[in-house]
Structure 1
């Protein structure tokens, strides 16, 4: 019950009501100005009386909104650069309101009164709009009225893959600038920006993130105690949850990308192609490619019966359709690392033509016939025991665009067999013993293919 609360609790509650209270003077005073001019132009005295009543109510509403605004500002987190003009604009609004009331009542019989009263109302309306604009900037950031920015944000809000979906070549992206920062801006920027630092935290730049908030600078060596990650992972009902309930939440994909950035100790200036991507991140990056691939548009292929998919899942395969309504499948290997069934190709034979994304990374696979997976466009064999013999049948996969062979047993003899894969866009060969000159040989035969040797690229 409210009478059991102390003053700090009450002031906190009143302050939190500011976004609600502030709309009353905006609407009432704007209506007062409209009615006053309407009474003059249409000679309606009733409108003049209603305008005066609205000015009285507007003044009370202005005082209440100003008081609640003062209380919420005491909690900190707002830039003085923006807060001070907003506060003085509110005070000016109250003064103009009083002046308009006095001119309308005390000096209404004076001949000069109307000449001052009408301009006062015009200025009053301007100050109402300006004060509201400053308040919106404090709440939503300085670009909240940017039409192009707003349109872009609305589009991004409905895309769980944002910002990856906006990157034409994700492997060229920088982890912080191109991935992490857009996510933080889209979901956290309205409360954590240079004008409004909730909790003393500004998430608009890399340096301001490193500076931290009221709890101190960010400690890159205490990953398990990351305050940023803790708040993002809090239950939605928790008061510590960020973004709070009612705000646009991060998707699972976006949260996974932030977790990866934290686990990598918050790097700023590094491209994805120079990083050793965990399997989950590779899978996320794989998903963002345009699904308008010629193979994917094949509407003659029948959908796989759900009982077949259920049977495969019971055997440990992660099997999912790549998009709603599509007959094509993504297959991941869900066994523990090092465990591999003897007959992968045989077990997947019923759905071989349906598989377009196949992830066997981290398994103990040595041999498998991939030639039956004729529609395969993505194959991840990283950190496995495969050798050159497997590449013989991979060379027949003319739809293959992505091939990850990092940390495998392949040699230069093996990669020579891949020279016929004209559709290949990306191949990862780091930690394989493949020399730069051998990679250059393959590059000459596949000039459109990005060949990555990891940190040795370009050295």
Structure 2
């Protein structure tokens, strides 16, 4: 009754209760799996004489299996309302799940003598059918989430043959030996999409009605319209979604999934800005200085080989492999002692990333420890901490700093001026801070800056448009409506006297 009243009275029109409850399905479904498997194993052990188990114990397991399967079916149905799943596989999975619930209830009823001794001999067949359906439902559930070949995708060919799977397709993406002659879409863009996006946007699972597995589907877009606007990556949803904070529900790939590396995102952005051609080669397109390191890093390799979002994949930037002395062990120990993560960015190199992801109380006083790593520290993540402008005077001493996260901190325009002394800063995240248009003056002077994030700050569309005119090379993500920003970007009309 309480849940029903909550569903009826919620004032938030953006809440989708069906999907909210449905998304508990992956959690709930593990309950009947565990209980039913345990019941089957205990029953087998009891009958073979190798276990001394009371019938009531198995009965309780079957009861919880039936209850769990029923609740999971309800949640699974609500989750399916969100769409984006292969209809045939979804239907099979749905009925198999219902079958697990039904046969679990029947097995429990017979085992508990609710039906009398006349049906006792049906107990084992009912339990066996429930277990078989459980395996089938689990397999199809995995197919819905990961694709129909998720079990056999990496299996040796003999196992694929035994399983009735087709022969492993030979890769059509050849290693890139001459980067200038590489087909931009087929050999660079598509492998990135295959490694990061098509798990959820393919022929069998098209989340949001969107498929990214073929050029035709990519051009078509999804339920929310086109995701690719040739010539304008900033207005292309397939890039915009990737630039959102990972905690944002609209961020892609979803949180917990392998994320695009900076090089991969740069290559997608470059391809779209150059017209999103599906047949041109690298040599046919202009190559800005900032994209050349990412292109050079692909030479002699398949793009798929570089898909892992590890620190090593960031070495396309020359600065990240430039020789620097090893970090002072005492300085590293001082940072780890207060809870900061200190991680190497690439094997065999001394550049470091420092993150306060596990230290939400990181303070201005503790920021004084950072300059001890001024040569090695290139990525710094201090988002969601209470630091103020005082910390920025310490950060300003990190002369090799390239990436800086300051989202959800207490910094202001005044403190931002300290960052003007950072000659190599390429990425700056100011999401949910009190930065105003005055702070954009400092941002405009950062010579190496390529990306700045200004969601939920106090900057205005006019300020952002002015910054974009001053720095047309700068990728600005602000959440500002594109039409509004375009209006502010228009030149002022001339007047005649």
What is the TM-score normalised by the length of structure 2? 0.52
Rounded Cα–Cα distance in structure 2 between residues aligned with 1:212 and 1:244: 18
- Given that 2:104 and 2:130 are in contact with CA atoms closer than 8 Å, whether structure 1 keeps it comes out as yes
Per-residue CA deviation, residues 143-167 of structure 1 (Å, 9 max, x unaligned), is 32235279xxxxxxxxxxxx99954
Rounded Cα–Cα distance in structure 2 between residues aligned with 1:324 and 1:83: 47
Which residue in the other structure is 1:142 paired with? Answer: 148
Query: 1:13-162 residue pairs with structure 2 within 5 A?
Result: 13-42=20-49, 44=51, 46-104=53-111, 105-107=113-115, 109-110=117-118, 113-114=120-121, 116-148=122-154
Rounded Cα–Cα distance in structure 2 between residues aligned with 1:305 and 1:23: 49
- Given that 1:164 and 1:170 are in contact with CA atoms closer than 8 Å, whether structure 2 keeps it comes out as no
Rounded Cα–Cα distance in structure 1 between residues aligned with 2:270 and 2:91: 39
- Given that 1:175 and 1:269 are in contact with CA atoms closer than 8 Å, whether structure 2 keeps it comes out as yes
Rounded Cα–Cα distance in structure 2 between residues aligned with 1:219 and 1:228: 6
Rounded Cα–Cα distance in structure 1 between residues aligned with 2:23 and 2:346: 45
Q: 2:265 aligns with which of 251, 255, 264?
A: 255
Tell me if 1:188 matches 2:197.
yes
Structure 1 unaligned spans of 5+: 151-162, 292-302, 307-320, 327-459
SS state at 1:269 partner:
coil
Pair 164,232 (structure 1): closer, same or farther in 2 beyond 3 Å: farther
- Given that 1:81 and 1:195 are in contact with CA atoms closer than 8 Å, whether structure 2 keeps it comes out as no
Report the RMSD for the aligned CA atoms in angstroms: 3.3
Which residue in the other structure is 1:246 paired with? Answer: 256
Per-residue CA deviation, residues 90-129 of structure 1 (Å, 9 max, x unaligned), is 111122212212332235634x733x32233222212101
Per-residue CA deviation, residues 185-206 of structure 1 (Å, 9 max, x unaligned), is 2222232222222211112222
- Given that 2:21 and 2:78 are in contact with CA atoms closer than 8 Å, whether structure 1 keeps it comes out as yes
Per-residue CA deviation, residues 335-371 of structure 1 (Å, 9 max, x unaligned), is xxxxxxxxxxxxxxxxxxxxxxxxxxxxxxxxxxxxx
Tell me if 1:214 matches 2:220.
no
Q: How far apart are residue 210 of structure 1 and its match?
A: 1.3
Rounded Cα–Cα distance in structure 1 between residues aligned with 2:124 and 2:54: 15
Rounded Cα–Cα distance in structure 1 between residues aligned with 2:205 and 2:108: 34
Rounded Cα–Cα distance in structure 1 between residues aligned with 2:105 and 2:285: 64
Which residue in the other structure is 1:277 paired with? Answer: 287
Which residue in the other structure is 1:5 paired with? Answer: 10
Rounded Cα–Cα distance in structure 2 between residues aligned with 1:215 and 1:26: 36
Query: 1:312-323 residue pairs with structure 2 within 5 A?
Result: none
- Given that 1:36 and 1:47 are in contact with CA atoms closer than 8 Å, whether structure 2 keeps it comes out as no
Rounded Cα–Cα distance in structure 2 between residues aligned with 1:126 and 1:322: 47
- Given that 2:177 and 2:300 are in contact with CA atoms closer than 8 Å, whether structure 1 keeps it comes out as no
Rounded Cα–Cα distance in structure 2 between residues aligned with 1:90 and 1:305: 58
Rounded Cα–Cα distance in structure 1 between residues aligned with 2:324 and 2:100: 69
Rounded Cα–Cα distance in structure 2 between residues aligned with 1:148 and 1:220: 35
SS state at 1:279 partner:
coil
Q: Name the stretch that deviates more: 140-149 or 25-34.
A: 140-149
Rounded Cα–Cα distance in structure 1 between residues aligned with 2:227 and 2:246: 24
Which residue in the other structure is 1:332 paired with? Answer: none
Q: 1:174 aligns with which of 177, 180, 183?
A: 183
Rounded Cα–Cα distance in structure 1 between residues aligned with 2:265 and 2:230: 20
